[in-house]
Amino acid sequence: MARRKTINKTGISRVEGIPYHDAWVAYKCVNCHEMNYVQVGQNLIKPSDAIETCVWKCDKCGFVHSKESDLPFENWEEEYNNADSTTALRFWEGFFRIATEHPESYWKQCNVCSRVLPFNAFSKHVGWGPLAKQMECRSCKGAINAVLNPKRSKEQLHESAVRRRIADLFLEDIDQNIDFKDLFDRFEHRCFKTKAPLDINKRDTWAIDHILPSKYLYPLTINNAALLSRGANENKRDKWPSKFYDNNELIDLARITGANLELISRKIPLMNHNIDVNKGVERYLQVREKSDLPKRIKEIKKILQVYELVENLSIENKKLLGFK
């Protein structure tokens, strides 16, 4: 699907013509030590193919990096430098393996500052090219966000934080503790979205996804938990499942977790009203002595109206908050 046309509201323009999905290989010339960059497109090279087919010529000194080339190392015995020697062949195998062994070995060109930078200079974006990385590097992303974020008013930022806090209060008693081992076993130790293998002991590399988001007041339960890589989870955020997972993934997800397929495949999000709203209200009104009580009452009333939860209130809480 073609990327939808966007309007630049930042004054920070993208550089035209940069193939932002393409992967690059970066290597230091073994002869003059100059950094070189090779654009390899959207198909990553296997190390076994690289040693057999790649011929990379240094932009500065013209040295050709190939398994057919003699090595230029003056501190080696001459026979070891010969391209026909086992030592040279092993060197070239390692040279090409270093540059192509993993997606993390590759580089990418930022389409804002146009620099070619290492894999980890870009944030995750599932489904974007072979490296699944964003178009702009993290430096440029920071600059763009510095322009965009102030455009959100303080009131908008505060309201977003309030909604998250109220949602947490509503779900406080019904969120379940998830057995990590059971979760990993059910998802075969892989990110459900990307299928990348995950290590249960590397907690900063994986996350538990609320399939139906807490934003819509769905608690974390064994039937509402998916295993995702950290990057995939950041892309999912509070999206309704059908906005993030395709049809086949939704079917598989329902089979694995027992989630309601009809519900998670809905195109329009559905608020969960099967919660104890009164407990959430009571928690929210447990304020410190110096808190701005009228402000908190205004906040909770607005959220209850937006979430269409007023009718779930007890008669006493309706009166307390001033609902007729």
Q: How many CA atoms are closer than 13 Å to the CA of 123, on its beta-carbon side?
A: 11
18, 9 in Cβ contact below 8 A?
no
DSSP-derived pairing of the beta strands 116-118 and 206-210: unpaired
Q: What is the pLDDT of residues 44-68, one digit of tens each?
A: 999 999 999 999 999 999 999 999 9
Q: What is the pLDDT of residues 183-231, one digit of tens each?
A: 999 999 999 999 999 999 998 889 999 999 988 889 999 999 999 998 8
Q: pLDDT-based confidence at 117, cuts 50/70/90?
A: very high
**Single-letter residue type at 257:** T
Q: Whats the size of the chain, residue-wise?
A: 324
pTM of the model: 0.51
DSSP string across 235-262: HHTT--GGGTS-HHHHHHHHHHH---HH
Q: What is the pLDDT of residues 73-86, one digit of tens each?
A: 999 999 999 999 99
Q: Domain residue spans in the chain?
A: 23-143, 175-264
Predicted pLDDT of residue 3: 41
**High-pLDDT (> 70) share of the chain, %:** 90
* Distinct helix (H) and strand (E) counts, the chain: 12, 8
Q: Two tokens at 256?
A: 């694995």
For residue 247, is pLDDT > 90?
A: yes
